[in-house]
Structure 1
Amino acid sequence: MRKRQQPHVEGAAEPPGGPRSSTCCLCWCGCCKCPWNEDRVERTERQTCTKMDSIEAAEDRRATLEEVLSWSRSFERMMRSAEGRDVFREFLRSEYSEENLLFWLACEELKSEMDPGAVDEKARIIYEDYVSILSPKEVSLDSRVREGINQSLAEPSSHMYAEAQLQIYTLMHRDSFPRFLNSAAYGDLVNSKRSTCLDT
């Protein structure tokens, strides 16, 4: 015997296991202040944005206080912000590790290059600037990744530094980023955004 379907009532809570609406039970308006909504945005971001995403689409506008505060929960979000990268670069410079971010940015630029001649040239410059043991800006790569790069130099490609880029990204995320969040550079930026909010 078929079960009779219950009529759908607008605004009624979904049954356990059923599809979830875009809002939580405490915030039917779906505003961005809702904690559940923030969690949903974070999950969506992790699913659609990888560590190696291109930053070409990053907006050059100044970040809001809310955005700057959100960086403490998402390294990826900070790296997609032009202002975030700028202040993080200043912090890395104070720790004498600015070359890590510069290498990551150079790899992003190489990945977007389509012209074979330009790929060859940029790949060589990246090697000389950040991979060669003779460079004062050499980044820290393990021997396996370094060997892979050396083999790729015979036929450079726009993604030949992908593994090395991920390794440096992970290093910045795990090592430098926690210190950045506790630094005066980040604290001063948050305070300046708060002051701007109070003035407006």
Structure 2
Amino acid sequence: MGSERMEMRKRQMSVQQETPGAAQAQPDAGNRASNACCFCWCCCCSCSCLTVRNEEGEERDRRDSHDVKTDSTTNCEESPNPTLEDVCTWGQSFDKLMKSPGGRNAFREFLRTEFSEENMLFWLACEDLKKENNKSIIEEKARLIYEDYISILSPKEVSLDSRVREVINRNMLEPTSHTFDDAQLQIYTLMHRDSYPRFMNSAVYKNLLQTLSEPATES
């Protein structure tokens, strides 16, 4: 009996010595499981899956910021309501139309019906770029203009010939406030020759002209 008791005590002591090690192993395994990302259960929180997800989040934030900047340029310009005289001058020349904020807004409304509003947006963005003097701001705005209106991947790409595109690509190496001058002139000429005559015969222009021509109704 004594030998059996001794044997049992030895077994108990052996089990007690092994138990702490097992207890430590279990929390470690739990930590690994809790730190692992949803894609991978064999690594810690620094796994490549989380790195990819973080990069995707940064890219999404950058796109959202870019979208905010882009959307801010698509709002109509602030301008007083045009008078009958203003609207009549728009018909005298394209230059007078483009120098009038109200004229540009009305023309943009027409271009939108022809799915070519990007031409006016590009022209306005170039005008805004010319007002900048800060080099870093110029570079950022030039990059956005290129991505929005010059890149062949953009849904708002404007129609430019190969010569002008080559000039822009060279200028983008060191952007200035006049990087897009040639392209802006080409789009201005396109709107003048192609869209402006149709605008003058459009319902947008005629309705505006008729509305302002009618005498105000006395209350």
Give the TM-score of the pair, scaled to structure 1.
0.68
**Paired position in structure 1 for 2:119:** 100
Question: Which letter does structure 2 place at the counterpart of 1:170?
Answer: T
**Paired position in structure 2 for 1:149:** 168
Is contact 1:100-1:172 (8 Å) kept? yes
* Partner Cα separation in structure 2 for residue 199 and residue 139 of structure 1: 44
Equivalent position SS for 2:91: helix
**Paired position in structure 2 for 1:140:** 159
| Residue 78 of structure 1, CA deviation | 1.1
Question: Which letter does structure 2 place at the counterpart of 1:154?
Answer: L
| Residue 72 of structure 1, CA deviation | 1.0
Question: Which letter does structure 2 place at the counterpart of 1:105?
Answer: L
Percent identity between matched residues is: 60
Q: Which has the higher contact order (CA 8 A, sep 6+)?
A: 1
Is contact 1:130-1:137 (8 Å) kept? yes
* Partner Cα separation in structure 1 for residue 152 and residue 168 of structure 2: 13
**Paired position in structure 2 for 1:86:** 105
Q: 4+ residue stretches of structure 1 with deviation over 3 A?
A: 197-200
Structure number, greater radius of gyration: 2
**Paired position in structure 1 for 2:87:** 68
Question: Which letter does structure 1 place at the counterpart of 2:139?
Answer: D
Alignment partner of 1:129 is 2:143: no
**Paired position in structure 2 for 1:169:** 188
* Partner Cα separation in structure 1 for residue 138 and residue 117 of structure 2: 24
The worse-fitting range, judged by mean Cα deviation, of 147-156 and 75-84 is 75-84
* Partner Cα separation in structure 1 for residue 122 and residue 147 of structure 2: 11
Equivalent position SS for 1:134: coil
**Paired position in structure 1 for 2:209:** 190
Equivalent position SS for 1:139: coil
Question: Which letter does structure 2 place at the counterpart of 1:82?
Answer: P
| Residue 62 of structure 1, CA deviation | 2.2
Aligned with residue 77 of structure 1, among 80, 96, 118:
96
Cα RMSD over matched residues? 1.5
What are the Cα deviations for residues 137-172 of structure 1, in whole angstroms up to 9, with x where unaligned? 000001000000001111000001011000000000
| Residue 96 of structure 1, CA deviation | 0.6
Equivalent position SS for 2:129: helix
* Partner Cα separation in structure 2 for residue 80 and residue 63 of structure 1: 13
* Partner Cα separation in structure 2 for residue 140 and residue 175 of structure 1: 13
* Partner Cα separation in structure 2 for residue 145 and residue 199 of structure 1: 52
| Bigger helix fraction | 2
* Partner Cα separation in structure 2 for residue 165 and residue 199 of structure 1: 43
| Residue 59 of structure 1, CA deviation | 8.6
What are the Cα deviations for residues 107-136 of structure 1, in whole angstroms up to 9, with x where unaligned? 000000111000000000000000000000
Give the TM-score of the pair, scaled to structure 2.
0.62
